[in-house]
Amino acid sequence: MSNPYTGGCACSAIRYEAASEPIFQNHCQCRDCQRRSGTGHGSYLTFPSRADVKIAGTASHWRAAGDSGNQKVHSFCPTCGTPVYLTFAAMPDLCAVHAASLDDPGRFSPAVVTYGSRGLAWDAMASGLQTFDTMPTG
């Protein structure tokens, strides 16, 4: 890839570079994302191979169970607190970065809204996005 996705936390203690194209770009309106973001949703780019996402710096982690019961590992900067990326115990190859952590957040191009059934009236998504009540399967 000639133009990798790069980003990191607010204080630059954690930096990443993704050498592949994301396979999924979404806004998630689940309650967990609402709480973590402090707003109505989280926005993510998911990359197919954790090995293709080079991370510099040491993140702190915490785990949370998703609706499926599978563990999500949230990684954030211990210095500035910025959420940077997350991984999934049931799908260890995947790595999702927070869209706002990109050096160029304009590269984020969401295609879907997940957990639209939990969306808040004041957090309207673009009308052209495909919306799923929960997380789509397959």
Q: Which pLDDT does position 138 carry in this prediction?
A: 62
What secondary structure does DSSP assign to 14-74, as a single string? SEEEE-S--SEEEEE-SHHHHHHHTSS-EEEEEES-GGGEEEES--EEEEEE-TTS-EEEE
Domain for residue 136, yes or no? no
Q: Which pLDDT does position 53 carry in this prediction?
A: 96
- What value, to the nearest 5°, has the Cα angle with vertex 107 and ends 52 and 70? 50
Q: Which pLDDT does position 69 carry in this prediction?
A: 78
Domain for residue 91, yes or no? yes
pLDDT (tens digit per residue) in 36-88? 888 999 999 999 999 999 999 999 999 988 767 788 999 999 999 999 999 99
Q: Say yes or no to pLDDT of 1 above 60.
A: no
Distance of CA 37 to the CA centre of its chain: 11
Q: Which pLDDT does position 84 carry in this prediction?
A: 96
pLDDT (tens digit per residue) in 90-133? 899 999 999 999 999 999 999 999 999 999 999 999 989 999 99
Domain for residue 112, yes or no? yes
For residues 122 and 113, give the distance between their C-alpha atoms in angstroms, rounded to a whole number: 15
| CATH number, position 14 | 3.90.1590.10
Instruction: Using the structure block, give the residue that is written with the tokens 């957090």.
Output: 123
Q: Which pLDDT does position 134 carry in this prediction?
A: 86
Q: Which pLDDT does position 55 carry in this prediction?
A: 97
Domain for residue 22, yes or no? yes
Domain for residue 110, yes or no? yes
82 Rama class: left (phi>0) / alpha (psi -120 to 50) / beta: beta
Domain for residue 79, yes or no? yes
pLDDT (tens digit per residue) in 11-28? 999 999 999 999 999 999
Domain for residue 137, yes or no? no
Q: Give the alpha-carbon dihedral of 107, 103, 28, 96, to 10 degrees.
A: 100
pTM: 0.92
Alpha carbons within 13 angstroms on the beta-carbon side of residue 36 total: 25
User: What's the number of domains the chain is made of?
Assistant: 1
Domain for residue 39, yes or no? yes
